Structure 1
């Protein structure tokens, strides 16, 4: 069992943290870890590409006032949605209930002046679907702002509850292709003892990219978003897997602090050594 460590400004001194988030979140989270004393590197193994506006997607935005509920599945989806709405609506339509899957997503919508609902605990589809206002939806219209794929549970469940759900794909997630030199620097020379992978797609691509590494990443402390991804990681051979308690930078850093240092049988390798 991991021994909790006291939180503090330099609680992660000596930790080597590899952050596999897309940019700009990777650099922002890297700064939060450095503030806690960690040495960090970023290795974005996924990137998000905004989808071009089509006549169909434009019409969805123009019909925004016809929806009773609008759900954004991630902070990035929320930002993309706000950009589209700003183009066609001088002010937000009234009578629409806005939702973020988690507090971080809701904060993006609230920064635009919207009142937004989100789960009081958790940041999963299941947590969102437990909200009282999303239980009885007969004849109500729901707009789901999301990536090109994913979050099918939200759509399926809301349709079972009587809603008419329109999906609005706003971006595509796709693997990156780091150079061999970049991989050698981040894995072999840096030798991370903590890895941050905040989606199943991120984890899968990281595993594929690290297969030829000389560093055994399976012994690193791995932080993932949910139990489902944790199970996926254990099946891949990771020894020490923890789930995030929240998706805000502070939540992620504090979760690692609570489980650091990793188990070691000898002195840690010096960063930069072969």
Structure 2
């Protein structure tokens, strides 16, 4: 019997874009006995219209001129590789070695390592704040940086690097859209008291979830324990009225699962 045996968890993050048959996070939870129900409230869509392709192409053509390349998520790695395979035959097997590579966290760094790219990343705080604390980003001296990300999201990393003297370029590879395909199932699970916990990986996911939960189910949802990956999202959840918030030190699979494991017997 696993350490999370009997735990019924709702996971709402987007389907992960990789070649694996099953999400690593889901696989780990299930291996420990949890019954994970994955009902995404977000989808990621590549930017593949003509203006977008031309815009992305400018960054790739000038890739060798960048001193630093930053990837903010696994999705940014996958979508760039897909774009290269479809549009740049010279790079169809992977990324060039020119810039120094950085990742927002271990999971993104591991994804880059799978394509033979070694990226530096924060060892504790897997976030923009953690990346900015690395010695490499203390002063820019006009170094050119390209940040691969999705449309929108936090601007802290880009803004702070500019303040510190880096020349920052943002290459947006995909967009995030609220997905409401599973609203009925989500409301049924909440309304029937069928869940033990909800797992939230980002502020946007929390907002998307709240936007499609019926008003009669909101009090029940806000009394459920939720697992979040940072103090920032914990504060947001508190502002929305959630009462039982479990905060992991980071969004990595290892930290999220170990935090849930530690709290399971006492908190749930």
TM-score interval (norm. to shorter): 0.7 to 0.9
Q: Is the 8 A contact 2:187 2:213 kept in 1?
A: no
**What are the equivalent positions in structure 2 for 1:1-274 lying under 5 Å apart?**
10-24=2-16, 27-52=23-48, 53-86=52-85, 87-88=87-88, 89-90=90-91, 92-179=95-182, 181-189=184-192, 191-214=194-217, 216-261=220-265, 263=267
Q: Is the 8 A contact 1:16 1:39 kept in 2?
A: yes
Q: Is the 8 A contact 2:41 2:182 kept in 1?
A: no
What is the CA RMSD across the aligned residues, in angstroms?
A: 2.2
Structure of higher CA gyration radius: 1
> d(CA) in 2 for partners of 1:113 and 1:157?
29
> d(CA) in 1 for partners of 2:267 and 2:249?
21
Give the alignment's TM-score, normalised by structure 2: 0.87
Mind listing any 5+ residue stretches in structure 2 that lack a counterpart? none
> d(CA) in 2 for partners of 1:155 and 1:93?
23
Alpha-carbon spacing, 1:131–1:72, altered in 2? closer, same or farther (3 Å)? same
User: Which stretch of structure 1 is more off in the superposition, 48-57 or 255-264?
Assistant: 255-264
Q: Give the secondary-structure state (helix, strand or coil) at the position aligned to 1:139.
A: coil
Q: Is the 8 A contact 1:15 1:193 kept in 2?
A: yes
User: Which stretch of structure 1 is more off in the superposition, 113-122 or 64-73?
Assistant: 113-122
- What are the superposed Cα offsets for residues 125-169 of structure 1, whole Å, 9 maximum, x if unpaired? 010011111222122110010110123111111111111111000
User: Which stretch of structure 1 is more off in the superposition, 66-75 or 203-212?
Assistant: 203-212
- Aligned pairs, number: 256
Q: What residue number does 1:270 align with?
A: none
Deviation of 1:262 after TM superposition, in Å, equals: 6.2
Relative to its length, the structure with more helix (as a share) is 2
**More contact order relative to length (CA 8 Å, sep ≥ 6):** 1
Give the alignment's TM-score, normalised by structure 1: 0.85
Q: Is the 8 A contact 2:234 2:247 kept in 1?
A: yes
- What are the superposed Cα offsets for residues 5-56 of structure 1, whole Å, 9 maximum, x if unpaired? xxxx611122111111111388543332121111221121111111114212
> d(CA) in 1 for partners of 2:238 and 2:214?
16
Deviation of 1:248 after TM superposition, in Å, equals: 2.9
User: Which stretch of structure 1 is more off in the superposition, 85-94 or 16-25?
Assistant: 85-94
- What are the superposed Cα offsets for residues 185-207 of structure 1, whole Å, 9 maximum, x if unpaired? 43234621111011111101112
Alpha-carbon spacing, 1:57–1:95, altered in 2? closer, same or farther (3 Å)? closer
Q: Give the secondary-structure state (helix, strand or coil) at the position aligned to 2:249.
A: coil
